[in-house]
Structure 1
Amino acid sequence: MPESAGCGIAIDMGASHLRFVLASVEGQILKESRERVHSEAGPRGVIAQIREGIARLIQSKNGLGTLRGIAIGVPGGVDPQTGKVVDANNVPGWREEDMGRELEETFRIPVFLDNDANMAAIGEHWRGVARGIENFVFIALGTGIGAGIFVDGRICRGRNGFAGELFRMNLEWPRWTEDFPDTGYLETYVSGLGLAKLGRKVVANGNGDQPSTLADQRDARYIFEALHQGDPGAHALIEQSFVMLGVAVANVVTVLDPELIVFNGGLVKGAPDLLLETVGKVVRKMQPKAPKITLSTLGDKAQIWGALHTLLEPAQQCAIRSAQKCAVT
């Protein structure tokens, strides 16, 4: 590759891991690394960890040309006015961190930030099953739940940058007066953390009458393992969760009327067929003109592809830019 071609860095700031990718301006992945997020170090520690990861990639890019920019998908809202990361649910104490500006000051190159589900939706529209589709909803179902929404070919971020934060959706109207400081209403039932917590009460061991010794884990993998081993409690819990997800999706369809719903994330991998069957059944029952419902073809690289596309497309860069508002014409 000629020296003048240049390269960019894409970062996936996940719930438990950081992924760093160095890519050419043509979108070819050149170098990649992955490490655990040091969330226990708090916001300052995580930002320092990201800064160090970027520095390592920069040191390794000999002969790859000028570094054109950095794009980061974050697990929280990004203020469209300021570019600040409003929150990051996996990092205790994260509030209104101006990470983009700090990284720009360190590396003297543009830094573009967006919500991780938005980045993944952009990736799916560029390289995945949503290519060529102007109206669709990408639903990330993992440790938490969130969505990236495409309307008329462009991401819909909303006034405050919180469009698609499905975890706040309340399907139990009598509970509207309750506070949910740690998780949202929907996320209590439809997420990895939510299922892990609920599973401690229902997943049994071999004789069916005692709590599973695996039920002290913080993620939901043990529930899906129990499902595949024939545990009736696990099956009932997961099916109930997917029914509630189906109702949430049907409500989203009522508002947006998308052509396509795309699911991705760690929770999807646990029981993809059951998810599609259950959610599809509920949505078709509630919606006379239900959209197609499918799984992502990009897997855990959807967000990386979205970040790379952000580096390659000026229109995406204008949508959210760290420390400033950039009007899209």
Structure 2
Amino acid sequence: MEHFAIGVDLGGTSVRAALVDERGNILAQDEDETDATGGPERVLSQIFGLARGLIASRPSLAPAGVGVSTPGPVDTITGIASDIPTLSGFAGFPLRAELERQFGLTVSLENDGIAAAIGEWQFGAGKGYDSLVYVTVSTGIGGGIIADGRVVRGRMGMAGHVGHMTITPDGEPCPCGNRGCFEAYASGTAFTRRARQRATERTDTVLGRDGSPINSRAIFRAARDGDTFANQLIDEEAETLGRGITNLIHILSPEIVVMGGGLSNEFDRLHAGIADHIARRAMPAFREVPVVRAALGQNSGLVGAAALALPGRDLAFHPVAKPGVLEF
């Protein structure tokens, strides 16, 4: 008998849901713009509505459970959201209990970076490895860790906040409230902020010319057209990513590092600079650790969340499903 699960990727911009089989294939998928200021009841109704539509599209399939990838901080052990800065009203909210009440199925919560690491480990670029680090580089920087064949969750299930290690003491301010974080220097947001600040001082670049928007797509496009300043910005970004990833390799000794998130769309251009930094700055025993692009793309967390609910994988905190059926 083939097993299926519902995976949910809850984000501040969009909430996505998918029906995923035990090989990691997405059988049906839907999404909605997150009502980020609508409060928990509204967001949960969005999740349930998407799931209901998926089940209606495949009436012959009975999901084994539900896995939810969520931004943090969320105590994924108790299922209580301590705070989700991108979503209003979730501080202290019993997220898992309310989802289980509505679904009538076991619901597993996972930090979004850890869920993406699980997705790549089980079905993507990290399949077959016992130890890996997943780093997502997008609006911010997050991550997840698999060590010796086990998911690293740590206290309250919140391990893997790799974007908030300090790489420059007393450096640029970070959204977390600290200064000098990896995220403050290497996230997509930091990358475009530097470009906007410095482009005003340059006359030899097309970036920002005639009021054109400066974003990551524009920077990489200009670089491909030979813009020297754009290529310099990208080389600096790759160097900074290499610095942070080298730290992670030294601390965690993974077999492989997987990079996801929006900037991974330009992985081919960034990879040489990242690898060069590792080759120069990592200790000799760590220099051969490969850095690769996420194979599942934007679906790493969605598929990883579903994997939590698939029987027989023992990935969730409570992998045994409750009896019951999904009713609508």
* Structure-2-length-normalised TM-score: 0.84
For 2:279, which of 284, 306, 329 is the aligned residue? 284
User: SS at the partner of 1:189?
Assistant: helix
Which residue does 1:227 correspond to in 2? 223
Alignment root-mean-square deviation, CA:
3.0
Whole-angstrom CA distance in 2 between matches of 1:237 and 1:171: 18
Structure 1 gap ranges (5+): 323-329
The letter for the 2-side match of 1:269 is: N
Q: Which piece of structure 1 moves more, 10-19 or 98-107?
A: 10-19
1:215 counterpart SS class: coil
Partner of residue 250 from structure 1, selected from 246, 249, 269: 246
When residues 16 and 238 of structure 1 are mapped into structure 2, their CA distance, relative to the original with a 3 A threshold, is farther
- Runs of 4+ in structure 1 over 4 Å off: 24-28, 178-184, 204-207, 319-322
Aligned residue for 1:41, secondary structure, equals coil
Which of 297, 302, 305 matches 2:303?
305
1:209 to 1:280, Cα distance in 2 relative to 1, 3 A:
closer
AA of the residue aligned to 2:30 = S
> Which one is further off, 133-142 or 185-194?
185-194
Structure 1 residue 232: deviation in Å?
A: 2.8
Q: 1:63 to 1:319 in 2, by over 3 A?
A: closer
| In structure 2, C-alpha distance between the alignment counterparts of 1:209 and 1:124, rounded to whole Å | 37
1:314 CA displacement? 5.2
What is the identity percentage for the equivalent residue pairs of Structure 1 and Structure 2?
29
For each residue in 1:11-50, what CA deviation from the matched residue of structure 2 results, as whole angstroms up to 9, or x when unmatched?
A: 1224532221123456543321123223243544333322
Q: Alpha-carbon deviations, 1:252-286, whole Å to 9, x = none? A: 1111111111111211113x223211111111211
**Conserved 8 A contact 2:31-2:50:** no
Contact 1:187 1:194 in 2 (8 A): yes
Taking the aligned partners of 2:73 and 2:158, their CA distance within structure 1 comes to 6
Question: Hey, what's the Cα distance between the residues in 2 that align with 1:223 and 1:89?
Answer: 29
Paired letter, 1:12: D
2:20 is the alignment partner of 1:23: yes
Summarize deviations over 1:186-226 as a string: whole Å, max 9, x none.
2222112222322221346986388442336xx63333233
CA gap 1:237/1:93 in 2 versus in 1, 3 angstroms? farther
Residue 54 (structure 1) aligned with residue 51 (structure 2):
yes
Letter in 1 for 2:229: G
For residues 1-329 of structure 1, the aligned pairs below 5 Å read: 7-24=4-21, 27-64=24-61, 66-92=62-88, 94-175=90-171, 180-181=175-176, 185-203=181-199, 208=205, 211-212=208-209, 213-215=211-213, 220-270=216-266, 272-287=267-282, 288-289=284-285, 290=287, 291-312=289-310, 313=312, 315-318=314-317
Q: Which moved more, 1:87-96 or 1:230-239?
A: 87-96
What stretches of structure 2 of length at least 5 have no aligned partner?
322-328
CA distance in 2, matches of 1:209, 1:139: 31
C-alpha contact 2:68 2:108 (8 A) present in aligned 1:
yes
Partner amino acid, structure 2, of 1:316: L
CA, structure 1 residues 202+130, in 2 after alignment: closer, same or farther (shift >3 Å)?
same
How many positions carry a matched residue from both structures? Answer: 314
How far, CA to CA, are the matches of 2:174 and 2:22 in structure 1?
A: 46
